[in-house]
Structure 1
Amino acid sequence: MHKQQVIRRIFLSCLLGLLYPFSLLAQQAVDVTAKADTNSIRIGEQIKLQLTATLTPAQFKDPNFKIIFPVLPDSLEHFEVITRTSLDTVSTQDVHTLHQTFTLTSFDSGHWQIPPMRFEVITGANAAADSAVTLPIGIDVNTVAVDTTKAFKPIKAVQAVPWSIWDYWLYIAIGAGIVLIIGGLIWYFRSRPEKAPVVNTPTISPYELATRQLKTLKEEKLWQQGDVKQYYTRLTDILRTYFEHQFNIAALEQTSEELLQNIKPVTKLNQQRDKLRSLLAIADLAKFAKLQPTADEHEDCMVKAEEILEWTRPKAGATEEDGTAAEKQQA
């Protein structure tokens, strides 16, 4: 009895030992398939080839379990690969499906086979790679049926397409729009009213301006403060500016001698020639020769400037004959 139990245990152990590798193999088995959407095409038509690998939840979650899809070259025997998608995964509660789709075509007529596809299966970190292979797929590549009983037709000549204005309506509309815009701009610039030139009407006469400036200069008391040069520079500039605006003489650009020569045609101004000569002479010495005139000479120069202004003061409503004469002299 004891011997029978021992023999039974030995038999069961051997049986389990023999079945264990098959159970591991069944656990690691991967279902791989290759499927085409058609098995018959005409030359140049396309085939959708889908490669699929189905994994169990245990295989999918195992970090050491990997499956590598086959890498198809751009050209197979009698077939060419046009496009290929990236690897995609569809998961359910029971299985996980990996799939990839290839677009193939063929230009060789006949019955051809898409070769078996080899998947590499790695079951562990240090385990050797195993393989899972799909079955080949037969594809019929047919030619276009040609009726050989009929004669060959001659090549047709090039035919002209009838011209239609509606084929160019967009270009016509753009051209018409450009012409209208250009015409509108031309009409606008020609018809718009011209702006009248702005005439700056003087709000104060040259005589009144010069009189105010002399009064301001007198109140500043420059020579009393020792600034003799500035005093005579301002004094002569006031007179020269007055001559330029009142009598149209370029007095600011002329030397003292040139100014005395150019006032001759202006009767009123020429009558004050001696006073102007004396004033300019003292002013030039003070400005350029660093002469220090006396207080009486300072006062006398101011009085002469006021007298020149008063003598040449224009009458209200009268035309400036002297200014006209000066313009003729300069011309």
Structure 2
Amino acid sequence: MDNRKMRRILLTVAISSLAFLFCTAQPVVRTTIDKSEILIGEQFKLKVQANFSGDDYFIKWIALPDSMQHFELVEKSKIDSVFTNQKLSGLTQSFTLTSFDSGKWTFPSYNINFNPAKDDTTITMFTDSLPVTVSFSVADTTSALKDIKAIKEVEVFNPLWYWVAGGALVILLLALLYWWYRTKKKGKKPAQSVSKLSPFEEAMQEIDKLKNFNLSEPKDIKQYHTKLIEIYRQYLSRKENTDYSNKTTGDMLIAIKSNYAATDILDKSAAALRFSNAVKFAKYIPLPSDSENNQQLIKDTIKLIESSPSK
């Protein structure tokens, strides 16, 4: 075989080998950090990038633990995919790390596995081991030195005035408490004595006392109707064991309608209450006979309640 023929064979083999290598390019892993020197507790970023053909390899990505010797993982980004001509051509991910150990350390390497799609042999590649120096903050030697200040004498503190002020404050508080107690005691209403009479008997007795009022005097007329309504409220309160003293006229009528089936009770109550309210609030001056009729209306209503069953 001559030399020319041998050269042709070798050239064909070389071209075929190169074509095979280009068709099945080996994966490439790159590792970079943005800082090789940090202060204790300062953060730095580690970036891992893998270039490979997505059609030829299935990749098992790097698994970085949360805590490593001399380093702590603070945060990790999502894994970003890189596409070339609409085909997967790589993966990249960033990690934020820090360290609390001073010294010169080497960040460990971690493996990435590439499983060929047409072969059973797994390709294992490793990230770079990168040096990182962790140090304390550097002291500022550029600032000018300052003079040593003279020793100050300790001021003698006399707490007497604090005791005087505290005592005066206590006396003031006691005086306010005493004033408040006396004011509350004066304004407190005496407890009402419980009548031995029945609600009906007490109401009739109190209505009979109304004859002492002079129904020709406007002042007595107002007091007469005020007392008349109070007697009716007191009767209902004792009869139903419910406090009617603070109820409005509307609330009283609603309660009466709910508690008694007879409609006459509601009608008579409404007429009597509205008439007395006109005298109390509208300054209406009725005739003596009208006031006496309203008293009789209240008396009849109470008698009707006594003889009517409740709901």
TM-score, normalized by the shorter chain, greater than 0.5: no
TM-score range, shorter chain: 0.3 to 0.5
Return the TM-score normalized by structure 1. Answer: 0.39
Larger Rg belongs to: 1
